[in-house]
Amino acid sequence: MVQSVNSIPPLDLTQQYATIATEISDAVLGVLSSGRYIGGPLVEGFEQQLASYVGVSECVACNSGTDALYLALRALKVGAGDEVITTPFSFFSAAEAVSAVGATPVFVDIDARTFNLNVEQVAAAITDRTRAIIPVHLFGQSEDMTAIMAIAQSHQLAVIEDCAQSAGANWMGQKVGSIGHVGCFSFYPTKNLGGCGDGGAVTTNDPTLATMMRMLRQHGEQERYLHKEIGINSRLDALQAAILQIKLRYLDIWNEQRRTISARYYQLLSHVPGIVIPQELAEGEGVWNQYTIRLCKGTQTNGGTACSRDWVRSQMQERGVSSTVYYPRPIHLQPVYQDLGYRLGQLPVAEQICHEVLSLPMFPELSTEQQDQVIHSLKDCLA
């Protein structure tokens, strides 16, 4: 695609890299000349730094956010015959990890205002087989962790927080990833704390779980060549750890920049007819991995492409502004979950929202001028 000089991408990783390029290249060259590429002090150092940032005693780094979710479920001994309640409106990973351990994902509808779980429906979905809840702090907003922890406690369920999009977010002053039994982070490049490749981590205050997850990420080895479990190979590279150590030091600054941008979107878009802007619960402080609006104007067709959102998106694209649809299809209606027997119309909020959402450009370096261009192009389309 040819982009004009003034075109605005949904996110731009090169600008951020430029601000820390020297630090990163020094660190990377240091790793290359060290000869220690897997494990070692850089990985352990990063684990300690992330644990202390999140406010937990234990952190185990691994290869991706998806693996982090898998390791958490395995360590909690969730498996065949078990049910895990999670959201249908997210990236696929949480559901996928549940299926990968042999358990069944149970999808409940979301709250249209926050895009997060509808907690009443979580409570209603609990059965004898329910073992865990995976709240996903979507787009950087914390779930209602007070409600979720209360439900979990009264039914003795484990809570695995999917923090992939929410590094640094908090709920009532407590960082996400420190509230449930395990927190799962992704360092995929587009996340708020993103590496230069794949990466992930789990956080917990439970040393037994941490020991198990450490073992499972390395072939179930308790010590070298002594295998106590069937594990996986899921380690964080020293190169990524070195880069992430640097980026973690900037995370609060970058998250603050995202908050400023989101406040400005709020200020300039909240009164525009046809747009519903995302809401933050008062107890939470989000980190805006995405700024996702809903376009509820015009005719929408169920399952079709002829909805006003797609038209607006293409019109904005013609004006040089790229936006993204997270997510175009709810997980309970994915082909692979056909056998679970969900019907169209069963989780109506999630289904509807997939046709309405549009994520506007959001990255810490987005300038005021660029943001104005985004807003003008959007308002033009709605006029």
Ligand X SMILES: *Cc1c(COP(=O)(O)O)cnc(C)c1O
Residues that bind ligand X (CB under 6 A): 64-66, 90-91, 93-94, 136, 162, 164-165, 186, 188, 198, 200
Closer to ligand X by Cβ: residue 138 or 366? 138
Of 232, 225, 315, 249, give the one whose Cα is nearest residue 62.
Answer: 232
Shortest Å distance, C-beta 193 to ligand X: 11
Within a 13 Å sphere around the CA of 192, how many CA atoms are in the beta-carbon half? 31
Shortest Å distance, C-beta 299 to ligand X: 30
Closer to ligand X by Cβ: residue 323 or 373? 323
Q: What is the DSSP string of 203-237?
A: EES-HHHHHHHHHHTBTTEEETTEE-S---B---B
Shortest Å distance, C-beta 115 to ligand X: 11
Shortest Å distance, C-beta 110 to ligand X: 13
Q: How far apart are CA 198 and CA 189, in angstroms?
A: 7
The CA-based angle 309-297-356, given to 5 degrees, is 40
Contact call for residues 63 and 200 (beta carbons, < 8 A):
yes
Closer to ligand X by Cβ: residue 46 or 375? 46
Shortest Å distance, C-beta 190 to ligand X: 8
Closer to ligand X by Cβ: residue 53 or 139? 139
Phi, psi dihedral angles at 131 (to 5 degrees):
-115, -30
Closer to ligand X by Cβ: residue 307 or 353? 353
Nearest to ligand X by Cβ — which residue?
Answer: 65
Shortest Å distance, C-beta 116 to ligand X: 11
Phi, psi dihedral angles at 300 (to 5 degrees):
-120, 145
Closer to ligand X by Cβ: residue 16 or 165? 165
Q: How far apart are CA 12 and CA 366, in angstroms?
A: 8
